[in-house]
Structure 1
């Protein structure tokens, strides 16, 4: 299938630890990718973004840039109000970057970008009211209602990772305790392993020896690899994750009643370790269990690339709307 130069846009997924940029065609295929560590200051981050765009633009005839940003954006996506792991505060990021690079620049919340990618190219293609839960360092959530992004009244919905599931539970960076992401994210998974290692005889767990020798080696990816190999502590940690994810999805279903839930993010690629069990918990915990239609729950088809593919799609949608970046994206806020 041929690709027109008019189809090519750059998507950039800006996370707290890394920045990933890619040239993406109109079929959602990534043709060229770059990655960099996330700089600590706003000026350094902007220089990094400009450099990535310049390098990709030297090799490809791209039409626009889309940014997937882990933070709170205004409803028109014109302003990055706050990003807990980035330096921007009340910053007009798209307009300022557009002036620097000489291309239209469009911005979107990272979970919304992932949701759009799954809608157009992945697991959400047949959903009507779809929730995308991105399980990574934390939990991001994107809600598509009738194929349109739901943002709430002030542009910050839905922050489902910070729904409290255990009152006075683990402290969260948001200031509350017991948030869903403290039990179902990569960092929450590691915390569960640490608790299990402290509570039990762990002589048969390779994670015990590894964490004792190098505490920094204990990551969500390593726990997933250990669980796939049958490590008992890792398996128990994923069982705990499945329980809380099922309860979280049941709570979400009671509010939004989606017909499809897509599990994305870094842990979404390891869904075979926990998703069947999470489905069972969801089905038993949802209000009216046994007397209502349940959402289909599917793993991501795009993996960790959903954010960058979605950012490129945001840029493509903005161009197709034929209006200013912020105004074009605001049309999805209905």
Structure 2
């Protein structure tokens, strides 16, 4: 049973979510903490505390971390995070020292995509793209059944494609990035603007958060829209339309068979995805003369990041164990290898 359990940790812009995950992708126990956004040391402390708490109740052998940022090709260092304080942060080795466990670090969207490919909406699909809509937009590719990370490990940052030159400022330092128009932050910005203008929509939003504008988030907007609020629905439709434009661009570049949309904003389901599909159909290059990829909601919800990170970490640990069991090289095998290289 020990080999079956791994801890998956999904570090987003607002929450650190963790769970003990078995070999079949089932989450046996969950924990959640607020993300310390200004201190890498505080994030490390939160991770160590979560791991220690879960290890008291489960025998685990590895930790997988899905981090909201650019992770290098060795899956060890967070190079940059637009929403957190990581800058060339050696997260894998730091967590390994604090926990004594095998650790893997990957981009949070890569982890979510892997979970959907292994256990969720993208099973049996060789080529897929996953988009996670939360604070920003994460993205990941699976090509020929393998995660595609790019030469430097940071492929899939689709949220930072520029769709409006000289558009809205983005935390990444550029202007007009897709995530400024098609993410939870876009919903929040629209909601707070309605509050500032004193609109009835803003008043309805404030009622949901007991008058605390700081508590406004994308989930509040989604909740209102599902209840039929026209202004909340309009806001979601606008985000969905921008999402569809981004997906059409990705289809032109990669031509996958399937797009999976996850993250907290995807809870709006067809209120978001139908306008996305419409915009995709009207924007797709070669529309009417080519097959169209499907756009579906992720199956694993907010658990996808932790499930994928845990499964990745377990896989790497198994490979490492197999590598340690290989027979030592003899003088004869060394000579053969040397001759082959020559």
Alignment TM-score, normalising by the size of structure 1: 0.89
Measure how far apart 1:194 and its partner are.
4.7
- Structure 1 99/194 Cα, relative in aligned 2: closer, same or farther at 3 Å? closer
Determine the C-alpha separation between the residues in 1 that align with 2:126 and 2:291: 14
Query: Which residue of structure 2 aligns with residue 181 of structure 1?
Result: 179
Alignment partner for residue 254 of structure 1, among 252, 255, 271? 252
> Is 1:13 aligned with 2:19?
no
Determine the C-alpha separation between the residues in 2 that align with 1:212 and 1:51: 32
- Structure 1 68/320 Cα, relative in aligned 2: closer, same or farther at 3 Å? same
Q: How does 1:10-159 map to 2 (within 5 A)?
A: 10-39=7-36, 40-159=38-157
Measure how far apart 1:23 and its partner are.
0.6
Determine the C-alpha separation between the residues in 2 that align with 1:308 and 1:232: 34
Determine the C-alpha separation between the residues in 2 that align with 1:80 and 1:243: 31
- Structure 1 294/10 Cα, relative in aligned 2: closer, same or farther at 3 Å? same
1:80-130 residue CA offsets vs partner (Å, 9 max, x unmatched): 222233333323221232132111111111000000110111011122111
SS at structure 1 position matched to 2:3: helix
Q: Is the 8 A contact 1:269 1:300 kept in 2?
A: no
Stretch moving more, 70-79 or 257-266: 70-79
Measure how far apart 1:191 and its partner are.
2.2
- Give the aligned length: 322
**Greater relative contact order, per chain length (Cα 8 Å cut-off, separation 6+):** 1
Query: Which residue of structure 2 aligns with residue 330 of structure 1?
Result: none
SS at structure 1 position matched to 2:181: helix
Determine the C-alpha separation between the residues in 2 that align with 1:82 and 1:124: 28
- Structure 1 53/194 Cα, relative in aligned 2: closer, same or farther at 3 Å? closer
The Cα RMSD (Å) is 2.4
> Is 1:276 aligned with 2:263?
no
SS at structure 1 position matched to 2:16: strand
Q: Specify the structure having the higher radius of gyration (Cα).
A: 2
1:38-88 residue CA offsets vs partner (Å, 9 max, x unmatched): 234222222221121111111111111111111111111122222233333
Unmatched segments (≥5 aa) in structure 1 = 326-334
The runs of at least 4 consecutive aligned structure 1 residues that moved more than 6 Å come to: 196-201, 208-212
SS at structure 2 position matched to 1:59: coil
Alignment TM-score, normalising by the size of structure 2: 0.87
SS at structure 2 position matched to 1:19: strand
Stretch moving more, 129-138 or 10-19: 10-19
- Structure 1 5/188 Cα, relative in aligned 2: closer, same or farther at 3 Å? same
Determine the C-alpha separation between the residues in 1 that align with 2:215 and 2:247: 30
Q: How does 1:220-299 map to 2 (within 5 A)?
A: 220-299=218-297
